[in-house]
Amino acid sequence: MARGRYELNQLRCFVAVAEELNFRRAAERLAMTQPPLSRQIKLLEHGIGLTLLERSNRAVRLTPAGESFLVSATDLLQRAEHAVLTARQAERGEIGAIAMGFVPSAALEFVPRIVDAMSEKLPQVSFNPTEMMSYEIVEA
């Protein structure tokens, strides 16, 4: 049996069941039916080699391992969501760093206004202005 193998969708399913403590409500929340939800939970438990939920006819409860796993699974899902968001922002040029060369005559009037305006529009982008000679700007 492989230990530590799971998919993000299995984590989403587990978190929904753990938060709802009810397979029907968790399935509704995830817009799926109960059999595939139960299958995802079983695959997750098999993949990590742990029983996360105690199931009975009337109730679902987290095992001690399930309680601990819920904290980490929730964190992992948030990190995965953040990774996608950050990648999309990078693709749109909304995060990162911009190196900007400027000639000395622009230092007092233009550079501060440009950096302020760009920082306001793109708060996740850092601007690194560097005073350069015009030939250095062309070469850069």
Per-residue pLDDT, 137 = 82
Question: Does 85 lie in the same domain as 102?
Answer: no
Question: Does 18 lie in the same domain as 46?
Answer: yes
Does a structural domain hold residue 103? yes
Question: Does 75 lie in the same domain as 13?
Answer: yes
Using DSSP's 3-state secondary structure scheme, residue 18 falls into helix
Q: Could you give the number of structural domains in the chain?
A: 2
101 and 128 in contact (C-beta within 8 Å)? no
Question: Does 80 lie in the same domain as 36?
Answer: yes
Does a structural domain hold residue 85? yes
Question: Does 128 lie in the same domain as 106?
Answer: yes
Does a structural domain hold residue 29? yes
Residues in the chain predicted with pLDDT less than 50, given as ranges, are 1-2
How far is Cα 79 from Cα 70, in angstroms, rounded to an integer?
Answer: 14
How far is Cα 120 from Cα 5, in angstroms, rounded to an integer?
Answer: 43
Q: Which two tokens stand for residue 22?
A: 């009810």
Per-residue pLDDT, 1 = 42
Per-residue pLDDT, 99 = 85
How far is Cα 14 from Cα 3, in angstroms, rounded to an integer?
Answer: 17
Question: Does 82 lie in the same domain as 16?
Answer: yes
Give the CATH number of the domain where residue 43 resides. Answer: 1.10.10.10
Question: Does 104 lie in the same domain as 51?
Answer: no
pLDDT in tens, 55-85: 988 889 999 999 999 999 999 999 999 999 9
Question: Does 75 lie in the same domain as 12?
Answer: yes
Per-residue pLDDT, 3 = 64
Does a structural domain hold residue 3? no
Question: Does 81 lie in the same domain as 37?
Answer: yes
- Which among 89, 108, 123 is the end of a domain? 89
Whole-structure pTM value: 0.71
Domain interval for residue 81: 8-89
- CA proximity to 13, closest of 49, 54, 51, 41: 41
